């Protein structure tokens, strides 16, 4: 049997997918941006060949689809070339969004765990509350976010908290679902064994249910932190915010700055990847402390 190879099993598949995406992306750049080049040539009364069109599609100031090198240049300019205190720095805007994300994620985590504990230990909550938790996620966040922002602004609450509440609304759901499944995951024989030890419900919870639920909790946290970031970005859109990744997307759409929009999207994706990776590392360390095999 062949030994597992890190390059063949993990690195090569990822590089292959990236290469395919880049090929499709470059073809799409030419296809989508070419009409503008032809239109400009027609207005100037000149004829352009395909060899002349292709280079121009990759260097337009406001392309329909930016080329990868344009996005990389914009990211470099707004992260490395600009001081992080500048309002044109993506690092500054990412921090504004991250602060609301973490606050909403924290509140969503606490709320989700408390609701899950109540649902598992109280039959009435299980039958009445769980359907409402599920139904709450059927309402589009784009419909709820403006209402939350407007209502809170009308009573003098603005800034970080409204955006954090939108993140809370999105992030608590996967934690509730994951923790309910995790807290109910111990085998009936193990629960009976705790009963024979005359263990209280509190002892059963901390010594059996909680350890069994931790893998489910961390899996839910990975989903929750990502959608919490989405909630923070969406929360910045209805307010016409001047800071945050949502504000960069909004201003880019106002002025047709597609390169700015794509740079903000890539920054948001990178931020989400970092947050999910941090939770993944914490998950690994917790499992090691619990005696799980690597």
CA angle 171, 172, 175 (to 5 degrees): 100
- Count of Cβ atoms closer than 10 Å to residue 238 Cβ: 19
Residues 6+ apart with CB under 8 A from 163: 100, 104, 231, 232, 235, 236, 244
Cα-flanking dihedrals φ and ψ of residue 122, to 5°? -135, 115
Q: Does residue 80 sit within a domain?
A: no
CA angle 254, 258, 263 (to 5 degrees): 115
Q: Does residue 78 sit within a domain?
A: no
Q: Please indicate, yes or no, whether residues 105 and 248 belong to a single structural domain of this protein.
A: yes
Q: Please indicate, yes or no, whether residues 95 and 44 belong to a single structural domain of this protein.
A: no
Q: Does residue 177 sit within a domain?
A: yes
CATH of the domain at 255: 1.10.3720.10
Q: What pLDDT, in 10s, does the model give residues 220-242?
A: 999 999 999 988 888 887 665 67
Q: Give the 3-state secondary structure of the chain.
A: CCCCCHHHHHHHHHHHHHHHHHHHHHHHHHHHHHHHHHHHHHHHCCCCCHHHHHHHHCCCCCCCCCCHHHHHHHHHHHHCCCCCCCCCCHHHHHHHHHHHHHHHHHHHHHHHHHHHHHHHHCHHHHHHHHHHHHHHCCCCHHHHHHHHHHHHHHCCCCCHHHHHHHHHHHHHHHHHHHHHHHHCCCCHHHHHHHHHCCCCHHHHHHHHHHHHHHHHHHHHHHHHHHHHHHHHHHHHCCCCCCCCHHHHHHHHHHHCCHHHHHHHHHHHHHHHHHHHHHHHHHHHHHHHHCCCCC
Q: Please indicate, yes or no, whether residues 35 and 171 belong to a single structural domain of this protein.
A: no
**Domain membership of residue 50 as a residue range:** 6-65
- What's the confidence (pLDDT) of residue 37? 82
- What's the confidence (pLDDT) of residue 223? 93
**Of 137, 124, 205, residue with least CA distance to 170:** 137
Domain end: 29, 50, 65, which one?
65
Q: Please indicate, yes or no, whether residues 59 and 95 belong to a single structural domain of this protein.
A: no
User: What mean pLDDT comes out for the span 63-74?
Assistant: 89
- Count of Cβ atoms closer than 10 Å to residue 13 Cβ: 11
Q: Please indicate, yes or no, whether residues 181 and 284 belong to a single structural domain of this protein.
A: yes
Q: Please indicate, yes or no, whether residues 143 and 184 belong to a single structural domain of this protein.
A: yes
Q: Does residue 70 sit within a domain?
A: no
Q: What confidence tier does 40 reach under pLDDT thresholds 50, 70, 90?
A: confident
Q: Does residue 84 sit within a domain?
A: no
Q: Please indicate, yes or no, whether residues 106 and 196 belong to a single structural domain of this protein.
A: yes
Q: Please indicate, yes or no, whether residues 144 and 279 belong to a single structural domain of this protein.
A: yes
Q: What is the pTM of this model?
A: 0.84
The answer for 45, left when phi > 0, alpha when psi is -120 to 50, beta otherwise, is: left
Question: Is 80 exceeded by the pLDDT of residue 49?
Answer: no
Question: Which of 41-55, 104-118, 159-173 shows the highest mean pLDDT?
Answer: 104-118
What tokens does 188 get?
């009936």
- What's the confidence (pLDDT) of residue 277? 92
Q: What pLDDT, in 10s, does the model give residues 17-31?
A: 999 999 999 999 888
Q: Does residue 74 sit within a domain?
A: no
Q: Please indicate, yes or no, whether residues 42 and 178 belong to a single structural domain of this protein.
A: no
- What's the confidence (pLDDT) of residue 108? 92
Domain count, the chain: 2
Q: Please indicate, yes or no, whether residues 16 and 147 belong to a single structural domain of this protein.
A: no
Q: Please indicate, yes or no, whether residues 35 and 103 belong to a single structural domain of this protein.
A: no
């Amino acid at each position: 049997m062949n030994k597992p190879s890190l390059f063949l099993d993990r690195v090569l598949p990822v590089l292959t997918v990236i290469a395919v995406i880049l090929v499709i992306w470059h073809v799409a750049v030419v296809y989508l941006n070419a009409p503008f080049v032809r239109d400009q040539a027609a207005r100037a009364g000149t004829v352009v060949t395909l060899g002349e069109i292709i280079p121009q599609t990759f260097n337009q100031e406001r392309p329909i689809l930016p080329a990868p090198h344009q996005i990389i240049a914009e990211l470099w300019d707004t992260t490395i070339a600009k001081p992080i205190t500048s309002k044109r720095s993506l690092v500054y805007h990412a921090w504004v969004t991250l602060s609301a994300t973490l606050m909403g994620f924290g509140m969503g985590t606490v709320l989700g765990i408390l609701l899950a504990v109540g649902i598992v230990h109280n039959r009435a909550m299980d039958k009445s509350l769980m359907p409402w938790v599920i139904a709450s996620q059927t309402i589009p966040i784009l419909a709820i976010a403006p209402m939350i922002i407007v209502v809170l602004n009308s009573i003098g609450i603005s800034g970080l908290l409204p955006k954090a509440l939108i993140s809370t609304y999105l992030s608590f759901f996967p934690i509730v679902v994951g923790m309910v499944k995790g807290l109910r995951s111990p085998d009936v024989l193990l629960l009976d064994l705790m009963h024979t030890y005359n263990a209280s419900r509190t002892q059963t919870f901390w010594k059996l249910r909680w350890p069994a639920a931790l893998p489910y909790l961390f899996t839910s946290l990975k989903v929750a932190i990502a959608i919490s970031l989405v909630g923070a970005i969406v929360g910045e859109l209805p307010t016409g915010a001047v800071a945050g990744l949502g504000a960069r997307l909004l201003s880019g759409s106002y002025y047709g700055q597609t390169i700015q929009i794509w740079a903000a999207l890539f920054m948001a994706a990178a931020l989400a990847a970092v947050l999910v990776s941090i939770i993944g590392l914490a998950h690994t360390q917790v499992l090691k402390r619990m005696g799980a095999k690597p």
